[in-house]
Amino acid sequence: MAVRADVSKTGEIEMLFHSAVQKWGGIDILFANAGVGSLLPVADVTEAHFDEVFTINVRGLFFTIQKALPYLKRGSAIVLNASVADEIGLPGASVYSASKAAVRSFARTMTTELVDQGIRVNVVSPGPVPTAILHRNGLSQDATDRVMSFLVSHVPMKRAGTAEEVANAVLFLASSDSSYVAGVELNVDGGMGQV
């Protein structure tokens, strides 16, 4: 079932969960994956840009989790999508990186807050992965290719990741295979954030 909802609007988040719970009775896994980002030097960041990134990446993610809590079953898992950008000093990514660092911080606090409800919280942090987010920034294909090439040049494995590799990490964190894993940030970044 697909439900179109804007995470920047709490009413739409509530509608999303109401629809899901009506169909399935509760939630076992929540993957909070909505996000936006574009590279802008500090001097070029506008209030509108800052507000958009934080409204979706931080506020939207937080209230997605909050609105899901009444429906999350004991033993459920929450996986938050951050980014390797929360660990490295990527030029032009100050606002995006800070928003993803907030996501990482949420996981630490929520791990301790939700443990008594039997809910595990973890984070997956992708490195460069060619997905639709790269094309939403208004950059030409040539500029997008240059950005990806720059990012990949900092990856020890010398390649971009794939959406499937990130999905496999999310599935691990959401499954009973990770039943004793809580509060971690699992980098799926070819070593970019570690080396």
d(CA 127, CA 83): 6
Output the pLDDT for position 192.
96
Q: Pull the structure tokens for residue 171.
A: 């599935």
Q: Taking a C-beta distance cutoff of 8 angstroms, is the pair 62, 107 a contact?
A: no
Question: Which domain range does residue 128 map to?
Answer: 10-188
CB burial class (10 A; 0-12, 13-18, 19+) of residue 131?
A: middle
> Count of domains in the chain?
1
**pTM score above 0.85:** yes
* Position 76 in a domain: yes
- pLDDT for the residue numbered 147: 84
Q: What is the pLDDT of residue 123?
A: 98
Q: What are φ and ψ of residue 50, in 5° steps?
A: -55, -50
Residue 57, token pair as written in the block: 């990446």
Residue 82 lies in a domain: yes
pLDDT of 140 reads 79
CA dist., res. 152 & res. 161, Å (int): 9
Residue 4 lies in a domain: no
Report the CATH number that the domain containing residue 157 is assigned in CATH.
Answer: 3.40.50.720
Is 194 contained in some domain?
no
Q: Which of 76, 96, 123, 182 is catalytic?
A: 96
pLDDT in tens, the chain (195 residues): 999 999 999 999 999 999 999 999 999 999 999 899 888 999 999 999 999 999 999 999 999 999 999 999 999 999 999 999 999 988 889 999 999 999 999 999 999 999 999 999 999 999 999 887 766 766 778 888 888 899 999 999 999 999 999 999 999 999 999 999 999 999 999 999 998
Flag whether 98 is in a domain.
yes
Inside any domain, residue 2: no
Per the annotation, the verdict on 96 as an active-site residue is yes
